[in-house]
């Protein structure tokens, strides 16, 4: 997709098992060197070393997922990458996914 300024924009959508508040607490560490602006359901990430690049993050709360008596929150997370090639997107997503990964037993 090409945005109104003519920059190439690619989107990645994830369903994540957390609340928007939980997302907000983890995002600064997951973003690494990216500057984070925004709150609530909308964030913008900027790299001062590469001003043509940005990542827009849109959150949408979804109904909880319930199995028997256990209910888990679900948030739809859309990441819109502008001015980044596939290698750069994958490098960001690798760190992002690692920080949001929930471990078990």
pLDDT at 92: 97
Q: What is the CA radius of gyration of the chain?
A: 15
Domains (range + CATH), the chain: 9-100 (3.30.1370.80)
pLDDT value at position 9? 82
Average pLDDT over residues 52-76: 96
Is 1 exposed, middle or buried (CB count within 10 Å of its CB: 0-12, 13-18, 19+)? exposed
pLDDT score of 52:
92
Provide the token pair at 45: 């990430």
φ and ψ of 98, to 5 deg: -60, -45
Count of CB atoms situated within 10 Å of the CB of 27: 19
* Sign of the torsion formed by the C-alpha atoms of 70, 21, 85 and 97: negative
Mean pLDDT throughout 53-63? Answer: 97
Q: How confident is the model at residue 102 (pLDDT cuts 50, 70, 90)?
A: confident
pTM: 0.88
> Given this model, what pLDDT does residue 76 score?
98
Query: What pLDDT score was predicted for residue 48?
Result: 85
For residues 70-82, average pLDDT: 97
Sign of CA dihedral 84, 87, 90, 96: negative
- Asked whether the beta carbons of 53 and 84 are under 8 A apart, the reply is yes
Q: What is the pLDDT of residues 1-54, one digit of tens each?
A: 555 455 578 999 999 999 999 999 999 999 999 999 999 999 999 998 898 999
């Amino acid at each position: 997709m090409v945005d109104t300024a003519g920059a190439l924009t690619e989107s990645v959508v994830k369903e994540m098992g957390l609340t928007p508040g939980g997302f907000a607490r983890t995002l600064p560490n997951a973003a690494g060197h990216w500057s984070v602006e925004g709150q609530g359901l909308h964030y913008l990430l900027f790299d001062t070393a590469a001003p043509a690049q940005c990542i827009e993050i849109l959150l949408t709360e979804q109904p909880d997922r319930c199995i028997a008596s256990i209910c888990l929150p679900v948030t739809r997370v859309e990441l819109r990458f502008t001015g980044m090639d596939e290698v750069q997107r994958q490098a960001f997503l690798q760190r992002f996914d690692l920080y949001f990964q929930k471990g078990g037993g």
